[in-house]
């Protein structure tokens, strides 16, 4: 599976987040809190849901299942003018992303092992320190083997030559 490489413009997100680790994975709790309230966000620009992860810069270099990260359940919005009670804003910075079209169950983590363990090391890219996220669109069906989503991995070129004047 090869990704397309896309330059993302900054996005405005509104949603909820929880701190968790892979050892204490609380994504179900997060989505159970967010999903019933998503209709309160009146300025969303699509029906797509965003499942985003904000890792610490050392998360993968010193990986342990107990490393904490911030997981978000959100939608993209046109502005931050209206904010439902108990929800927060997040400005997703723009940048280069490897975008994978994934078909399969959301509980099958082998796609991430492939991306980070196989594709990334053999590509011309390395991880960039920006949020990772999935776009859960109309074809997304939680835990269904026919589910479809896009996985967005922040990357930067491995070989960047800097020229100094």
DSSP assignment of 13-29 equals EEEEEEEE-STT--HHH
Give the other-Cβ count within 10 Å of 134's Cβ: 20
Map out the domains of the chain with their CATH numbers. Answer: 4-157 (3.20.80.10)
**What is the chain's mean pLDDT, rounded?**
93
Q: What is the pLDDT of residues 41-92, one digit of tens each?
A: 999 999 999 999 999 998 988 889 999 999 999 999 999 999 999 999 999 9
Q: How confident is the model at residue 165 (pLDDT cuts 50, 70, 90)?
A: very low
Question: What is the rounded distance in angstroms from the CA atom of residue 59 to the CA atom of residue 72?
Answer: 17
Mean pLDDT across 34-47: 96
Question: What is the rounded distance in angstroms from the CA atom of residue 164 to the CA atom of residue 121?
Answer: 28
Strand spans (E) along 29-94: 49-54, 69-76, 88-92
Q: In the prediction, which pLDDT does 161 show?
A: 55
Is the torsion defined by CA of 42, 44, 47, 53 positive or negative?
negative
Collect all residues with Cβ–Cβ distance below 8 Å to 147 and sequence separation of at least 6: 103, 104, 105, 106, 139, 140, 141
Q: Give the burial class of 51: count Cβ atoms within 10 A of its Cβ; 0-12 exposed, 13-18 middle, 19 or more buried.
A: buried
Which residue intervals of the chain are DSSP H helices?
Answer: 27-34, 110-114, 120-122
Q: In the prediction, which pLDDT does 1 show?
A: 84
Q: In the prediction, which pLDDT does 70 show?
A: 97
Mean pLDDT across 14-30: 96
Q: In the prediction, which pLDDT does 88 show?
A: 97
């Amino acid at each position: 599976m090869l990704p397309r490489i896309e330059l993302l413009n900054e996005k405005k997100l509104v949603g909820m987040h929880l701190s968790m680790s892979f050892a204490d994975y609380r994504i179900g709790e997060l989505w159970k809190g967010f999903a019933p309230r998503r209709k309160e966000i009146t300025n969303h620009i699509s029906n797509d849901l965003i499942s985003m992860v904000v890792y610490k810069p050392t998360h993968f270099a010193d990986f342990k299942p107990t490393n904490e990260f911030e997981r978000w359940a959100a939608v993209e919005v046109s502005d931050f003018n209206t904010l439902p009670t108990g929800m927060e804003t997040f400005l997703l910075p723009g940048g280069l992303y490897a975008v994978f079209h994934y078909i399969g169950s959301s509980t099958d983590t082998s796609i991430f092992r492939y991306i980070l363990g196989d594709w990334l090391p053999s590509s011309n890219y390395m991880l960039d320190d920006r949020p990772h996220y999935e776009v859960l669109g109309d074809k997304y069906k939680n835990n269904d083997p026919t589910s479809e989503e896009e996985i967005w991995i922040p990357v930067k070129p491995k070989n960047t030559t800097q020229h100094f004047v």
